[in-house]
Structure 1
Amino acid sequence: MNIFITSLLFLIPIFLLLSRTRKTSKRIPPGSLGIPVIGQSLGLLRAMRANTAENWFQERIREYGPVSKLSLFGKPTVFIYGQAANKFVFTSNNSMLANQQTQSFKMILGDRNLLELSGPDHKRVREALLSFLRPESLKQYVGRIGEEIRKHLEMYWQGKQQVTVLPLMKILTSNIICSLLFGLEEGTQRDKFVACFEEMVKGIWAVPINLPFTRYNRGLRESARVQDMMKELVHEKRLQLEGKSASPHQDLITFLLSIRDEDGKEVLSEKEIVQNGALSMVAGYETSAIAITFIIRLFANEPAVCAAVLQEQQEIAKSKASGESLTWDDLAKMKYTWRVAMETLRMFPPVFGGFRKALTDIEYDGYLIPKGWQIFWVAPMTHMDNSIFPEPSKFDPSRFEKQASVPPFSFIPFGGGPRMCPGNELVRIEILITIHYLVTHYEWKLAADNLFSRDPMPEPSQGLPIKVWPRELS
């Protein structure tokens, strides 16, 4: 009898636990976690490289519905999509969801960058970055950005019969960012910084295996060099500010150093300035370069669109004296060009999607998302939704003639809500000025096939080689 009672007492907690697990598991979204550790990661990566990722997710939606579970990069994940899903991801408070970056991203960029912070720290650092990157502040840098673009075209495009667009656009955007964010002008210091930075970025997207000769290992080493160079920059600029030989608006670093609290102390620590400076370069380096590259690709495929952009840009060029820089007011006139850019971002968003982490058990659309699980959102699922954007595969800039006609949280190349990319205005300026000088000075046609793949960002076949020649203006 005692053995029976002891066994019963032992089995009751197990029975209750199993009952609770069974009850809970019924509320977890449908789907499969797949093979341990690997899950569906390889299938998704293959689909992205083959440019069939949207179909891959559509198959999941047909089988499981708009909410389903899977395993990505070693972690249980819930995939959600749609306007309501985007709103949930981008507007949920910090006690419910947190940013979830890959291990390699965190180890290379550090734990004090904006994408790793939450709560008051996230708000403090974001507000500091936005103060520099808001339109009112960026107005004064339009001329400097234009000068970088003109120098780039003279060096890499002028007199050439063929160029490869994507690597050149990466050079251009890294030069703009080095000048604007760090005050690094042409020379060996900037060249060394950019070379280290490029290796660091490769490590961010690598498998986090820290063995010699791996991309991750090189990324870690170059990250240490980049941060050492940035610490030296911070020290130099702090001395310049103290000696009043530098303006607080000289570049991002001096600006962040100049922000003080009520007690006169720096709002951001040196570590936060260094890591968020590096993050700003990562965010603006590839995304802008890819966006401009796909617009150039588009113009070769859509001559009528190119002609309409050219007409708008020629009107602006006629109003400028020879060698005169573009101004903020000129950018405001580029309405059609920006609609073309937004339609390009809709069809080919540089960032395919992203992760959030559930900080607590979350009820969503009738399902339970357990604490600690990842939530995965995907931009093309609303960008290419026929019920939101009719004939989504057709390039149609008129979709953006009236911004109010675009449903909220459906167009998300820069994210949304309080987590929207703080550098989206800088991206707009880079795109508009670059397109202005390109279309008014050059014509081109594709010199390779029209394919592209994602790894993880979209890249045209062979980096988009084009045959280029000077534009004959009437």
Structure 2
Amino acid sequence: MEQYLFSSAFVMGASATTLLIIIFSFLFHSNSKQKVASIVGHPHSRSPPGSRGWPFIGETLDYLSKLRNGNIREFVVERAKKYGSSNVFTTSIIGHPMTIMCGVEGNKLLFHNENKLVKVWFPYTIEKIFEKTHVFVLTDFELMALFKYIGTIDNVMQLELKTQWKPNKPAIVRDLSGRYTIGVACRLFLGSRDSSMIEKLEKPEKDIAAGIISIPIDFPGTTFNRALKAVKKITTLLVEVIRQRKVDLAIGNACTTQDILSEMVNAIDENDELLKEVDIATHLIGLIHGGYDPIRCGLTFIVKYLAEFPQVYDLVFREQMEVKKSKEENEALNWEDLKKMKYSWNVVQEVFRLTPPILGTFREVIKDFTFGGYTITKGDKIHWTTYYTHWDSTYFPSPEKFDPSRFDGKGPLPFSYVPFGGGPHMCPGSDYVKMVTLVFMHNIVMKYKWELLVPNEKVVVDPHPRPTRGLPIRLLPHQI
């Protein structure tokens, strides 16, 4: 889940934020009269080369520009080549000096040395928005017997298909897949079957997603300010739900193991006391966010690629038809069914390679170490990105080609494919993602084919990759 708490990338947001950045830049520039000196390494320095850019904003504007246009790998590649630095360089983004480590070697070092050389680090915006979420969330998915919820997820998707996915009419995939992922979160985390809960959560969730790693200016109209307001709104809503659950538990209308909410209500903190209602709400916000925005991003691009590659769709359809034939009529999916969906999961992995829903995460150095001939010192902040290796022809020949067969057999070289991170903080929600995604694919493929209404739709990143018009499609029911 740590991977999902970091899932948002560096996003500008409202024009008010942009204006404030320009004002800060002008003021600093007027005082200094020149750009801050480069910190490029020299023969007597063991620090990685790079540049801090402008005061306060560093190189954030260039990062945001490339991110917005889906070229975040370009930001890294340009600097790695410029400094000839063995896949390591320094920069300054979102108000923090940052060391960028990239490539398989960088991934391997970071993932193998969690809590030895590096530890999880949260930028200010994440700490402020999620507060204590990371303390609790990491164990939730590990403790849950997730497999027993596959039938519930299947029921949610079937209901969404029946009520929201209308044939022969334009359907906006990003919106519909978002409804599905929030619907699953409502059922599994809150035990709620109330469809209005989806509407209550979706708009604030979008504001939270945009503000997670925005410019940390808490001023009306800024992305960060809207995110903080959204957290307050959802917290108020969830506290009411928590209080009602306590009543239901007391009178026997709910049980202590029926969902995450009941488990949290009975959870004990480090002082052997029940968690406070506001803390439970904070934990739930982290879970709901992790189960919403990154996953709907992945589902949207699965639909996109299946439309663009009909031969891939046909193979997925055949596999899913075999699964359906093995089931009784109206029998829900289970884990054994999902294990049969090997080709479909290869397709998902290739989608996640080309368009990773998670762009990267952060670490803080807790002990000096060397990498690429340079010294990374205690206290340094590190950022790594999935895009660097995912699009590297060294690890993925013809990286622009959509090819699910890359994941046959042993699959890619270790540490080259990292959509869920790695090491001790590899996302424990990966099984959850697999279940929600494969259940989605099974149901939509069994009911529909589809065509893109906007071919070659532009893709931007804010905070996750998204088609600018939400991927409108026309659903075509099977004639079987």
Say whether residues 1:88 and 2:109 are aligned partners: yes
Q: Retained in 2: the 8 A contact 1:384–1:392?
A: yes
Distance 1:73 1:425 in 2: 31
Distance 1:25 1:151 in 2: 65
Q: Aligned to 2:220, what secondary structure does the other structure show? A: coil
- Of the candidates 290, 296, 301, which is equivalent to residue 289 of structure 1? 296
Superposed CA RMSD: 2.5
Q: Which amino acid aligns with 1:58?
A: V
Please give the per-residue CA displacement for 1:379-428, whole angstroms capped at 9, x wherever unaligned.
121112222222222222122122x3432222110111110112111111
Say whether residues 1:62 and 2:81 are aligned partners: yes
Give the CA deviation at 1:207: 2.7
Q: Which amino acid aligns with 1:69?
A: T
Q: Which has the higher contact order (CA 8 A, sep 6+)?
A: 2
Give the CA deviation at 1:146: 0.9
| Greater alpha carbon shift after TM alignment, 23-32 vs 209-218 | 23-32
Q: Report what 2:474 is aligned to.
A: 467
| Greater alpha carbon shift after TM alignment, 217-226 vs 305-314 | 217-226
Say whether residues 1:368 and 2:375 are aligned partners: yes
Distance 1:50 1:315 in 2: 40
Give the CA deviation at 1:186: 1.9
Distance 2:405 2:327 in 1: 28
- Name the count of aligned residue pairs: 437
Q: Retained in 2: the 8 A contact 1:179–1:185?
A: yes
Q: Which amino acid aligns with 2:453?
A: A
Judged with a 3 Å threshold, the aligned counterparts in structure 2 of structure 1 residues 306 and 349 are, in CA distance, closer, same or farther, namely same
Q: Report what 1:174 is aligned to.
A: 182
Say whether residues 1:429 and 2:435 are aligned partners: yes
Gaps of 5+ in 2: 1-40
Q: Which amino acid aligns with 1:41?
A: T
Q: Report what 1:335 is aligned to.
A: 342
Judged with a 3 Å threshold, the aligned counterparts in structure 2 of structure 1 residues 349 and 206 are, in CA distance, closer, same or farther, namely same
Comparing both structures, which one devotes a greater share of its residues to helix? 1
Q: Report what 1:48 is aligned to.
A: 67
What is the TM-score of this pair, normalised by structure 1? 0.85
Q: Report what 2:26 is aligned to.
A: none
Q: Report what 1:323 is aligned to.
A: 330
Give the CA deviation at 1:280: 1.3
Q: Retained in 2: the 8 A contact 1:184–1:190?
A: no
Judged with a 3 Å threshold, the aligned counterparts in structure 2 of structure 1 residues 262 and 69 are, in CA distance, closer, same or farther, namely closer
Distance 2:467 2:346 in 1: 22
Aligned-pair identity in percent equals: 33
- Of the candidates 107, 121, 126, which is equivalent to residue 138 of structure 2? 126
Distance 2:140 2:180 in 1: 26
Distance 1:437 1:161 in 2: 18
Distance 2:421 2:278 in 1: 26
Q: Retained in 1: the 8 A contact 2:165–2:176?
A: no
Q: Aligned to 1:462, what secondary structure does the other structure show? A: coil
| Greater alpha carbon shift after TM alignment, 330-339 vs 25-34 | 25-34
Q: Retained in 1: the 8 A contact 2:357–2:464?
A: yes
Judged with a 3 Å threshold, the aligned counterparts in structure 2 of structure 1 residues 108 and 260 are, in CA distance, closer, same or farther, namely closer
Q: Retained in 2: the 8 A contact 1:96–1:358?
A: yes
Please give the per-residue CA displacement for 1:36-84, whole angstroms capped at 9, x wherever unaligned.
2222211121112222222332222222231111111121111111222
Q: Retained in 2: the 8 A contact 1:69–1:78?
A: yes
Distance 1:93 1:56 in 2: 26
Q: Report what 2:462 is aligned to.
A: 455
Alignment of 1:47-446 (within 5 A): 47-64=66-83, 65=85, 66-94=87-115, 96-110=117-131, 112-114=132-134, 122=135, 126-132=138-144, 137-259=145-267, 265=272, 270=277, 272-402=279-409, 404-446=410-452
Distance 2:177 2:89 in 1: 38
Give the CA deviation at 1:190: 4.8
